[in-house]
Amino acid sequence: MLNFIKSLTNKKHKPLPVFLAVLGIYIPLQALLIIVVGDDSTLSLSVIPILFSGWYLGPWWAGASGGVIAACFVLFKAITIGFDAWIDIAIGGSSVAIFTLIGSVIGRVEELNRLLKQELLARKIAEQQLSRSNKELEQFAYIASHDLQEPLRKISAFGSRIASKYTDALDDQGRDYLTRMQNAAVRMQSLIDGLLTYSRVTTKAQPFSLVDLSVIVNEVLGDLETKIKDTGATVECSANLAIAADPLQMRQLFQNLIGNALKYHAPGIAPAVTVGAAREGTHCTITVSDNGIGFEQQYAEQIFGVFVRLHGRSSEYEGSGIGLSVCRKIVERHGGTITARSEPGKGTTFTAVLPIIQVG
């Protein structure tokens, strides 16, 4: 670098390359300041290359530098004025404002890209947690179907033997203890079966396929035929729609909802159940309505919890409180939502909204 400065001092370089080098450095800077930034200060700065050319190359080269620089200045200003006029007509604003806008857009894109990376990371973490939860459910399903069932079966079996062989040897209090033990074993079996059903929504899920809902509902009504006759119920179905779903889980969904409608009816009043399905854009809205006992709307979310029952064990309505939580898990697995609207003494309507086509 020092040798280059000394060579300039000694004026050993040929005039034309030096002239082109000076203009090659200055003119891009001039274009940047005039066109992009909108700064006219380059006109005053042009004295630097002109004086340098005069000192190093001579007066003729200084005049040539000034002419070229002036011509470029006029050209760049003309470009800026023309561009501003076009922007003003086509869009409104100025080139400086447009470049400012472009800068803000780039900044916004970078911010969105950062947020997208955060979202992808959060989703990856959620998927890992879901995978762990599924593995835990699989482990529980194995334990519930093997390790918990075996001692429970022995309790039930020995309880039955005591009841059949030694009832006469027990006093009233002893027989009461035995009955309570047997009832507790039955409830425990019901809870285990319910938990297994709940876990299998994920662990035993089948691939999605095209499902005709009317066919599924008719199969469910066939399974519930005895219950329908015993209660004198009427069931109307207008679910003539096909969606992408897990056939077995759709059957379980309707089985639980229609079964509840038949179960929770007022004494002396025959259940009237209406099942419907309608297309709304890219989604299907499924409804199951009844004229049953209903409930306070404040419990509309609580009823979907695991083992939640609005009626105690001593009530006339049997059940483990797992059915509606299974319904919600099925619906959520299909990427949908399920809600309930009810009023005491006026029945309940369950509404499930599911995608017609599953993506991914």
Please give the angle made by the CA atoms of 223, 202 and 134, to the nearest 5 degrees: 155
- The CATH number that applies at residue 328 is 3.30.565.10
Of 40, 60, 90, which residue is a domain's last? 90
Is there a domain that residue 116 lies in?
A: no
Of 63, 90, 117, which residue is a domain's last? 90
Angle between helices 213-223 and 247-263 (to 10 degrees): 50
- 213: enclosing H helix or E strand: helix 213-223
Question: Higher confidence at residue 99 or residue 94?
Answer: 99
Q: Residues 295, 348: contact at Cβ < 8 Å?
A: yes
Is there a domain that residue 74 lies in?
A: yes
| Claim to verify: residue 85 and residue 220 sit in the same structural domain | no
Three-class SS state of 300: coil
Is there a domain that residue 165 lies in?
A: no
Alpha helices in 146-206 (DSSP H): 149-165, 172-203
**Cβ partners under 8 Å of residue 27, min gap 6:** 68, 69, 72
Please give the angle made by the CA atoms of 242, 247 and 248, to the nearest 5 degrees: 155
Residue 152: its pLDDT value, please?
79
For 60, the domain range is 2-90
For residue 33, is pLDDT > 60?
Answer: no
How many domains are contained in the chain?
Answer: 2
Q: Which of 299, 284, 313 is nearest to 348 (CA)?
A: 299
pLDDT digits (tens, 9 = 90+) for 106-150: 777 888 888 888 888 887 887 777 677 767 766 766 666 667 777
Question: Higher confidence at residue 208 or residue 60?
Answer: 208
Is there a domain that residue 128 lies in?
A: no
Is there a domain that residue 67 lies in?
A: yes
Is there a domain that residue 350 lies in?
A: yes
Is there a domain that residue 197 lies in?
A: no
Task: Quote the radius of gyration of the chain (alpha carbons, Å).
Answer: 41
Q: Which of 299, 305, 226 is nearest to 262 (CA)?
A: 226
Of 90, 119, 149, which residue is a domain's last? 90
Distance (Å, rounded) from C-alpha 196 to C-alpha 188?
12
Sheet holding 272-280, edge to edge: 234-238, 272-280, 283-289, 348-355, 337-342
The mean of the pLDDT values for the chain is 75
Confidence class of residue 1 from pLDDT cuts 50, 70 and 90? Answer: very low
